[in-house]
Amino acid sequence: MQHRRAGHRVLKGLVRNPITYRVIRPPLDLLTGGQDNRAFRVWVRFLLHITGSAYSRKRPVIWISAFTPVEIAYAIGAIPIIPEIFASLVTYLGQSRRPLALSTSVVSSDICSFFRCAAGLVQEGYLPEPNLILSSSQVCDGANKFFHFLSQVYGCPHLMLDPPYDADDYARRYLVGQLRHLVNECCRLLSLTYDEEMLSRTLLLSRLVWVNMLKVNALRKSSPSPFPGGEGLSYLAGMGFYSPGSLWGVRFFQSLCSQLERKVAQGEGYLPQERYRLLWLHHIRPYYRNDIFQVLEKHDAAVSFEEGNYLYWPEPDPARPLESIADKIMSNVWAGPLEKRLRAIEKMVEDYDIDGVIHFSHWGCRQSCGGASIIGDRLRDRGIPYAILHGDGADPENYSPGQTRTRLEALLEMLR
């Protein structure tokens, strides 16, 4: 027990030391070298930069929930930390069980496992402390309560964005006003100077990210599928949440675009042979060790696209930065009436020539479970095979390998 505690102290010391992230970059660059890994290498460098910068404390650190516009942090010169993404990384490394177990003393086991994992990491002191916390009520109904709890833990301010349900002109003006107040309050609380030109420059980078995301999504319509859906649900989706408004986002999506252009020109798919094209619904997948994608690949079924990477918002306009951010928020197909999401899914099925659909229903996520049956009815009416996978993105204890395999094999049987 003493050796284990000593090991955790050493590990925590390394994790919290900004020098660590400079030291490990060269070997990680070697490990992620190669032409087909350029985008992934940018993702790794981005994480090292963000984490090392947060621990250096040279700039304010803002914790941000997944659907809060990250451009705000970049515009005012702060370091954004998205706890859900760090929880997914810890899960990917096979280290989520300990923080999940620790979290049971402070949060309910009924909430999202990504929040629970983050709560455990907070208890152990593995995450950089925030100067300010921002969250949004959009899509994730537990985010504001969880992030308010975190603000009490750290004794720092918490600002909440509450986008309206409707998407009419009045709602848009209300949201723009709310965003303006949010940015001004961030600057006041952090003693930073703000002018709209800073936000305009950030939106210029967001526009470059948007343009390259559009190209990437267009290239992924090619057959055979040039990019693995499992990676689309990990670092590609992560950069979609985390990078708009940053140079890192521009570098990443430009690299991925070049990578896919080469593969499409050569007619190269990520599977040796592709018989079926699948669409994955919801933003996440299980990040711990599992065999979902191996089962699919064994039957030549490619996850050709993922709902989480759907580009639903209009091209950002740097001349109207707050209005552009409001447009992005109000365009979210997972917010508001289910019909918005259904229309987007039907468009993805058509655009990506989809043969079957998998809906991952993440435990504790009301948004990912609520409309799953209705979506299935609509797709089955169109003759599209459909399967719901009940599971958990971060907690391996809520994963049932046998049941999952049975559902996948039933879907594959329908495709034959």
Q: What is the pLDDT of residues 167-218, one digit of tens each?
A: 899 999 999 999 999 999 999 999 998 778 899 999 999 999 999 999 999 9
**Three-state DSSP class for 356?**
strand
Mean pLDDT score across all residues of the chain = 94
pLDDT digits (tens, 9 = 90+) for 75-132: 999 999 999 999 999 999 999 999 999 999 999 888 899 999 999 999 999 999 999 9
From CA 106, how far away is CA 113, in angstroms rounded? 13
What does the pLDDT read at residue 110?
A: 84
343 contact partners, CB below 8 Å, separation of at least 6: 333
Burial 106-119 (b: 16+ CB within 10 A, else e): ebeeebbbbbbbbb
- What's the pLDDT tens digit per position in 235-279? 999 999 999 999 999 999 999 999 999 999 999 999 999 999 999
Which token pair is 166? 């409707």
What is the predicted pLDDT for the residue at 167? 86
Is residue 316 reached through a cis peptide bond, with omega within 30 degrees of 0 on the bond before it? no
Does 65 have pLDDT greater than 80? yes
Query: Closest by alpha carbon to 318, among 206, 203, 210, 209?
Result: 203
Q: Is the pLDDT of residue 331 over 70?
A: yes
Please state, for a pLDDT cut of 90, what percent of the chain lies above it.
85
Give the whole-angstrom CA distance, residue 36 versus residue 33: 8
Which pLDDT belongs to residue 2? 60
For residue range 8-54, what is the model confidence (pLDDT) as tens digits? 788 889 999 999 999 999 999 888 877 678 999 999 999 999 999 99
Q: What are phi and psi of 396, to 5 degrees?
A: -65, -15
pTM over 0.85: yes
- What is the predicted pLDDT for the residue at 4? 65
Helices (H), 266-400: 292-298, 321-330, 338-351, 366-370, 372-381
Under a CB-based contact definition with an 8 Å cutoff, are residues 48 and 28 in contact? yes
Residue 362: which of 42, 116, 136 has the closest Cα? 116
Q: Check: CB of residue 183 under 8 Å from CB of residue 76.
A: yes
Amino acid at residue number 101: A
Pairwise pLDDT comparison (363 vs 208), residue with the higher score:
208
164 by Cβ neighbours in 10 Å (0-12 / 13-18 / 19+) ranks as: middle
228-257 per-residue burial string, b: 16 or more CB within 10 A, e: under 16: bbbbbbbbbbbbbbbbbbbebbbbbbbbbb
- Mean per-residue pLDDT for 360-374? 83
The pLDDT of residue 193 is 83
For residue 269, which phi and psi values (nearest 5 degrees)?
A: -100, 165
pLDDT at residue number 141: 77
pLDDT at 142: 83
Q: What are 304-325's pLDDT values in tens digits?
A: 999 999 999 999 999 999 999 9
pLDDT at 367 over 80: no
**Contact (Cβ atoms closer than 8 angstroms) between residue 161 and residue 134:** yes
Q: Please, what is the angle between helix 321-330 and helix 169-190, to 10°?
A: 120
280 φψ region: left (φ > 0), alpha (ψ -120 to 50), beta (else): beta
Measured CA to CA, the distance from residue 140 to residue 367 in angstroms comes to 7
Domain boundaries, the chain: 14-415
